[in-house]
Amino acid sequence: MEYNESETRNLLLYFLIAYAISWVIWSPLLVFGQEISAASLLIIIGGFGPLLSAVIVTWIVEGRAGLRELRNRVKWRVGVGWYLVALLLPIVIAFLVYGLYLLVGGTPADFSSVPSWYIYPIGLLFVFFLGGGNEEPGWRGFALPRLLTDHSPLVTSLILGLIWAFWHFPLFFAEGSPQAELPFELYLPHVLGMTIVFTWLYLKTNGSLFIAMLYHAGLNTVAGYFPMESIGFIHPLAYTVIVEWVIAIILVMAYGQARFVGKGNFQEG
């Protein structure tokens, strides 16, 4: 698609509506916290902000044809290898993070307190539809391809990662949310590193939202299987940031630094 000022306005409108939907739904949590009986439900519903915004803006700007194009970006027909990457890379990252944690003196995790691995697929399915994967039609379906038309994949990743991270901001003040006990100063580079990997996956799969949703689901699901404690003042998320950025840099180099960093060189050949 040809990038112009109207696309800039569409992107801004998309981000504003995504923020507005999610933040309005999450706002009661900031006042009442877990006293609201439907607190968990509000967190889940608010997570649909990016998707709903993509549908609203696409309908306004492009009508039914645009909605069909958005739906077609799911693209589940990709090579089986990319399914393995989406399913296994989150687990590999989790083991690397845990290994780094132990290497610097972390206390071995109490794995008896985590869910059984045999229910992992159930958790993956839940998160795919309701716990993170549902965001992807917005972030990677609407915003990413539009940003890529005017920015390099690296710059696009940093812009989108920044917006994605701050979209979560109210949840850091909502008791019981996944972000409530995380330091935002680590969460921000964590999301930026993740976004680079998401962009790499998007490019390598010709824009498959299905793979992005599956990868997002894996990241969120596997996180609950490796409980780690802070070592002094170092929060466990710090080790995740280190591993994710090492992987992100390796993937950028493997994809081709010129293509990933250079403007207009993002198309997969």
- What count of other Cβ atoms lies within 10 Å of the Cβ of residue 263? 13
Average pLDDT for the chain: 92
pLDDT bracket for residue 263 (50, 70, 90):
low
Position 106 in a domain:
yes
- Please identify which residue in the block is written with the tokens 């607190």: 39
Position 209 in a domain:
yes
CB 14 within 8 A of CB 38: no
pLDDT bracket for residue 79 (50, 70, 90):
very high
Indicate the number of domains in the chain.
1
Position 39 in a domain:
no
pLDDT bracket for residue 267 (50, 70, 90):
very low
| Confidence (pTM) | 0.93
* C-alpha closest to that of 216 among 108, 88, 127, 92: 127
Position 46 in a domain:
no
Domain span at residue 130 reads 74-261
- Please identify which residue in the block is written with the tokens 């780094």: 100
Position 228 in a domain:
yes
Position 97 in a domain:
yes
Position 87 in a domain:
yes
Residue 39, pLDDT above cutoff 80: yes
Position 54 in a domain:
no
Question: Residues 179-221: pLDDT tens digits?
Answer: 999 999 999 999 999 999 999 999 999 999 999 999 999 999 9
Question: Residues 142-154: pLDDT tens digits?
Answer: 999 999 999 999 9
